[in-house]
Amino acid sequence: MLTIRQYQSSDQEVVWNLHNPALAQIGAHRGLGPWDDDLQNIEIVYLRNRGDFLVGEYEGQVVAMGALMKVSTAMAEIKRMRVHPSFQGRHFGTALLEALEYRAKALGYKVLRLDTTIKQNAAQILYKNHGFEETTRKSDTIFMQKGIS
């Protein structure tokens, strides 16, 4: 069973090590760059700014992660959804997405948005099955959102 909890500073290295292989497995890793700066500043970017960062543990090992980032008073964005390739297909992504949506509601958000790539077919299906609708596409990125209450 997956246990979901809030990120702790001691999770920094394991989160970084989870991020990279999860993207590389599907060919969506762009290499290191400033687009990853948030993962070096999780407390500031997410936890201290009306957001959250959750990790999922299975048998004591962090195997999943996802974040909630404030966009506006009413809107938050789901970021950094990752499940380690060895643990995909066990509905851990579903559990994490549901936990993030629960947190968004608790924080008072009314709309959730996210983006994924055209290469991430499983993620697209997951998001559509949870009520997210595509709003636009730019290059290889699909933008989606849904209302929550």
42, two tokens: 């999780």
pTM value is 0.90
Find all residues with CB under 8 Å of 118, minimum gap 6, and list them: 137, 140, 141, 142
* Tens digit of each residue's pLDDT (9 = 90 or more) over 66-102: 999 999 999 999 999 999 989 999 999 999 999 999 9
Q: Using the 8-state DSSP alphabet, how is residue 44 labeled?
A: I
pLDDT over 80 (residue 20): no
CATH of domain 3-109: 3.40.630.30
What are the extents of the domains in the chain?
Answer: 3-109
